[in-house]
Structure formats: C-alpha cells, structure tokens
Amino acid sequence: MTSSATLSPPHLNTLVLLTAMSVLSLNMFLPSMAAIAAEFSVPYAVANLSLGGFLAITVVLQVVIGPLSDRYGRRPVMLSGLAIFALGSAGCLWADSITGFLFWRMLQAAGVVGIALSRAVVRDMHGPQEAASKLGYISMVMAIAPMLGPTLGGLLHESFGWRASFVLYLLMGVGLLALCWRDLGETNTDRAATMREQFATYPALLKSRRFWGYSLCIGFSVGAFYVHITGSVLVGAEVFGLSPAAVGMSVGTIAIGFSFGSFLSGKLAPRLPLWVLVLSGRIVGLVGLCIGLTIVLFGFIHPVTFTGAVIFVGIGNGLTLPSANSGAMSVRPKLAGSASGLSGAMSVGIGAVMTSVTGAILTPANGVYLMYGLMIGCGVISLITAVYVRWLDITEPLDDTPKAA
C-alpha cells in the first residue's frame, strides 16, 4: 500500500533546506583547504581539486539527473542522491589519503540534486508564475548560504579541525534523507513508460528556441556574478588596498542584492507575467553597472561606488533568475527535470568560462574598467536573449509558450 509520504507534495521549507545543503556542500569546507593539503602532504593545487572536480561532476550530474527524474520520478532520484551524499561525506570524514578523500568528495557531488530537482519539484506543483514566486524565496537561500558557509566552516575548523565540516555534512545528509523520506512526496505524475520513450521527447526541448533563450539569459546573468567574485579579490586588494575582511564584505555585496531581488520576485511573481520580471532584472543590473562605469570614467574610483553598482547586479539577478528558470522549465512541463538540469549545467559552464577569462586578463592596471566591461558584456547578452524570448512570445504565441502543468 502506498503511504501518504510518497504522495503528498513537499513543504517549501524542505526544498529550501535541500537547496541550502547543495550550496553549503560546495563552499563550507574552503577555509580548511590549506590544512587538508598539509595533512595529506600534497600541494594546495591538488587539494583544490576537491572544489574544481566537484564542480565538473556537478555539471555532468545535472544533465543526467534531470532526465532520470523525468523518467523515474523526483522522489526516488532525490532519496538516492541524498543517500550517496551521506556516504560520500562519511568517506571524506575517515579518508586517510588524498586519493581517497578526492574519490569520496566526487561522490558527494550527488548531493547537488537538491538544487536541480528542487526547481523541478516546484514547477511540477505550480504554474509558471506561482513557480517563479516560490523559486524566488528558494533563491534567497542561494544568496545567504554562500556567505554563511565559509564562516561556519572556519569556526568548525578552529574549534575541532577540518574533519568537523564533514561531520556536519554527514549529519545534514542523513537528516535531510529522513526528512525527505517523510515529506517529499512524488510530484512528477506524467512520466514516460520507458527511457527510450523519454529520450524520444528530448528533441521537443532541445529544438525550442524559447528554452535556449531562457537558458542563455540565465547563464550570462550568472556569468556577471562569476566575473565579480573572481575579480573582486584582485580589485579590492590591489586597486583599493582593502584588507582581506573588507574584500570579503565587498564580494558579499552582490549576494545581498541577490537576496533582496529574490525576495521581490517572491512577492511580485504571482501578479506579473514572467517576461516583466525577467526584463526588469536585466535592465536594473545593466543600468546600475552603466551608472557605476560613468562615475568611474569621471575619476571617482572608490570602493563604495564600485560595490554600490555591483549591488544592482545582484538585485537584477534576483528578479530575473526565478522567472527565467520557471520559463525554461515551462516550455515543456513534462521535461521540467531535464530543462532544469540542462539550464543549470549551462550556467555552471558559462560561469566557469567567465571565471577563467576574468582571471586570465585582469590586472591591477585594468582591473576596475575591465571588470565593468566584462559584467556589462554579460548584462547586454542576457538582455538581448531576454528580449528575444519576449519577441517569441509575441510572434509565436502558439509555438511553445509556457503553460501551467
């Protein structure tokens, strides 16, 4: 007999906690990286593979896990991922070599299903506008968790050593597995009979210009964020002479803006069409950057004016991303998991490219101007793709216009 736990939709708080764990799994242990390298007697670059490799596995998993959840359901894929995450955390905790540590760390990456599948679960339960509202509230966690994670990890390291972070990861994984077992009912009620049938539906998504428009808008919106966090360390320290603590606060300003923009999305999305919030966010971010660049060109180069302009990037992303994610998943509601995973993988990929480009060409001499240029470039591309999606809505309203499930 099927239990009510397998049928009842999850509470929003459960999805928020899953998202928080997914974000914390990436960065909470970062303050311990040097200690990990020292304990295993390896260069820092080798220990840093626990971050770079994790991101690479995340990209692959988001592409694979989304389709699996479309075929077999969100609940079994989510529960399996959490179980593997807990196992990987335990392995990292007791690892006695860098090889073992990196192996278990890569296994931990299965926990990223919390981000991709949380979005798909929301879209299963709600129409496009209501889903955008719920995703706005979930996105607030994605702004707060990156700021709190390293702080918490640093405190744990100082108090108990680097393995303490992995104790907390293990407890989080087991706790969320138990919570999802009781609360995460299946929301995907329209599944294909076989994987072959599932794959046969993919061209409808991959050929959708509207899906690619939304995905590129998301990717380059996030790309501006990656440019900021990559370049702020150099600009803050070398150009403005800020202390490490002040640099950290500067990096966090974009997250503060993102949290506020996501809150606005949660409030406004039920009452406004998706395209209004998507375009509004792109305009807010781009106008803020252009004002900041104008101030810099007039010779007023100061940390306050620089971070003030970047806050608008965060606000713009908070307005855009929930609605754009909802739009991407609404193109083909039956493939919401696949759409969420593929668009998420594209975001990470574009972010990785922007990170590499920023790190390669930024210097103290050109730092401020080049950062503005790269972020404005990302803003322009994301605005163009948002306008393109709106043009499709007007000219081809019966093609693949988002529909409520």
- 174 vs 341: which has the higher pLDDT: 174
Q: Domain 202-395 maps to which CATH number in 3.60.130.10, 1.20.1250.20, 3.65.10.10, 3.40.640.10? A: 1.20.1250.20
Which of 90, 92, 107 lies closest to 36, judged by CA? 92
Q: Give dist(CA 94, CA 132) in Å, integer.
A: 41
Q: What is the pTM of this model?
A: 0.82
Per-residue pLDDT tens over the stretch 89-117: 999 999 999 999 999 999 998 777 776 78
What integer pLDDT is reported at residue 284 of this predicted model? 96
- What is the C-alpha to C-alpha distance for residues 344 and 202, in angstroms, rounded to an integer? 16
Q: Which amino acid is at 204?
A: A
- Looking at every residue in the chain, the average pLDDT score rounds to 85
Helix axes 274-297, 209-234, angle to 10 degrees: 30
Residue closest to 383 by CA, chosen among 334, 333, 313, 304: 313
The pLDDT of residue 385 is 97
47-61, 138-152, 179-193, 264-278: which has the highest mean pLDDT?
A: 264-278
**Can you give the pLDDT at residue 101?**
95
pLDDT at 398: 45
The predicted-structure confidence for 250-304, as pLDDT tens digits, reads as follows 667 788 899 899 999 999 999 999 999 999 999 999 999 999 889 888 877 777 7
The band of 170, judged by pLDDT with boundaries at 50, 70 and 90, is very high
Q: What's the rounded mean pLDDT across residues 194-222?
A: 85
Q: From residue 402, give the alpha-carbon distance in Å to each of 22, 127, 334, 384.
A: 28, 9, 12, 19
- State the pLDDT at residue 243: 65
Higher-confidence residue of 341 and 166: namely: 166
Instruction: Identify which of 173, 27, 51 has the alpha carbon closest to the alpha carbon of residue 111.
Output: 173
> How confident is the model over 339-387, as pLDDT tens digits?
888 888 888 889 888 888 887 887 777 777 888 899 999 999 999 999 9
**Per-residue pLDDT at 369:** 84
Q: Give me the mean pLDDT over the 303-308 stretch.
A: 76
Q: Report, as an integer, the average pLDDT of 218-237.
A: 82
User: What average pLDDT does this structure show over 21-38?
Assistant: 85
Between 195 and 177, where is the model more confident?
A: 177
**pLDDT band at residue 189 using 50, 70 and 90 as cut-offs:** confident
Where are the domains positioned within the chain? Answer: 9-184, 202-395
The pLDDT value recorded for residue 5 is 56
Which residues lie below 8 Å from residue 360, measured CB to CB, with a gap of 6+? none
The CATH classification number of 9-184 equals 1.20.1250.20
Cα 94 to Cα 86, 88, 97, 149, 369, distances in angstroms: 13, 10, 9, 22, 47
